[in-house]
Amino acid sequence: MARRRIGSGLIAVAVLAGFTGGLGCHHAGDFTAERDCCKPPDFNCCNIPNVQVPKELNKISLPPYIVETPDVLQIDAIRVIPLPPHRLEPLDVLYLTAENDFETARLAGLYPIDPDGTINLGQRYGGTVRVAELTVEEAQKVIQDKVRNVGGAKQAVVTASLAQSRGVQQISGQHLIRPDGTVSLGSYGSVYVAGLSLAQVKQTIEAHLSKYLYKPEVAVDVYAYNSKFYYVVTDFAGNGEQVTRLPHTGNETVLDAISLIGGLSAVSSKKIWVARPSPTECGNDQVLPVDWCGITRRGQVKTNYQLMPFDRVYILSQPLTKFDTYLGRVLAPVQRAMGIALLYGSIQNQFRNQGNNNVGFVAPILP
């Protein structure tokens, strides 16, 4: 009798431990607060009002794009003229023409300055000549002397002009907006552009380059839109929530967003809404209910909203599936505890049978 009471007591303790383990460190008040905080909006899909916001058939153009980190800008240098007096540097390009030179080896065209500071005039005119750190006028005289004295064209008259500054190579190209909101322009330093429109970025870069160049002119466009997103949040019926971040191009609707994640999951319900971010001081949530059957089966556009940057499309799970998940989560510790109690009873019976029948002990197989 005492053994039975002990066994019953162990079973009761195991069941209590199972319930305690299922609840963990949470209190009933915590669950109530979480339920009230995360309570889904209450709406009837058949009676959703026609809200005056952009939809599938009446989309709007977004305001001027504001660049942010980590967008990538495409900057093209249109006019890059160094302020005088300009000293020639490697990677600059000179344009040379000559009169009274040799007919078989005309001195004309573009001549880039090599990294060692020289340009190559060709073997007929004496090979290379150093022009780095010289002004264009000084380089023209040095080249003319080289052509006359070494090349043998005694009456040659050389004209030199700067065709391209190496600054073009530093300015033109793709420029990532760094975490501090600036873009690098090579030796011309950095410019803060985050939070500006493309027209403002152009003005800011040209104003910065005017410290080094004469009336600079650049063209600016967005090469990669990396800073504007929207989110699709899928509720997996008590097994977590999956958040998918998708790039915003300005033309997506609710149906586009859900198609990009492969449609609704096996545990998803048809209760979907768009949560639009609003300033904290507004105090009210901006929730746009979605009639899933309407936009898919009947082709209605009333709730197929045009998505805006940072919108959240939330897909709620099926209530019965979520209840089954929570029920299994609560009963799992109880099941383990009952298994321990049954194992104890099995071992106790084994010892009792061993004492009565002198039969060897057989260890039970744990599940």
- Eight-class DSSP state of 297: T
**Rounded to whole angstroms, what are the CA distances from 16 to 23, 30, 37, 287, 343?**
11, 20, 29, 42, 17
Q: What pLDDT does 235 receive?
A: 92
Per DSSP, the residues of 159-197 read EEEEEE-THHHHHSEEEE--TTSEEE-GGG-EEE-TT-B
How is residue 298 written in tokens?
């009947």
Which pLDDT score is estimated for 1? 47
Secondary structure class of 113 (helix, strand, coil)? coil
d(CA 76, CA 93): 18
Residue 104: predicted pLDDT:
76
Q: Which amino acid would we find at residue 29? A: G
Residues 6+ apart with CB under 8 A from 339: 367
pLDDT (tens digit per residue) in 55-92: 999 999 999 999 999 999 999 988 888 888 888 988 88
pLDDT per position as a tens digit, 207-255: 999 998 889 999 999 999 999 999 999 999 888 899 999 999 889 999 9
> Edge-to-edge strand order for the sheet containing 217-224?
173-176, 72-79, 217-224
Q: Name which of 77, 94, 81 is nearest 212 in CA terms.
A: 81
Euclidean distance between CA atoms 70 and 179, whole angstroms: 7
- How would you classify the pairing of strands 173-176 and 72-79? antiparallel
Q: How far is CA 335 from CA 192, 343, 347, 365, in A?
A: 62, 12, 18, 17
Mention every residue, 6+ apart, whose C-beta is less than 8 A from residue 200. none
User: Mind giving me the DSSP string for 306-347?
Assistant: BP-TT-EEEEEEPHHHHHHHHHHHHHHHHHHHHHHHHHHHHH
**DSSP3 helix / strand / coil % (the chain, rounded to 5):** 35, 25, 40
How is residue 367 written in tokens?
A: 């599940």
Pairwise CA distance, residues 44 & 124, whole Å: 88
Instruction: Decide if 317 contacts 237 (C-beta within 8 A).
Output: yes
Domains delineated in the chain:
35-62+228-320 (3.10.560.10), 72-81+168-224 (3.30.1950.10), 93-164 (3.30.1950)
- Residue 149 phi/psi, 5-degree rounding, is -85, -40
Q: Which two three-digit tokens encode residue 36?
A: 């009230």
153: tokens are 């064209």
The residue assigned the tokens 């790039």 is 247
Give how far the C-alpha of residue 91 lies from the chain's centroid of Cα atoms, to the nearest Å: 35
Residues 96 and 136: beta-carbon distance below 8 Å: no
Q: Which regions of the chain are under pLDDT 70?
A: 1-37, 167, 169, 281-283, 355-367
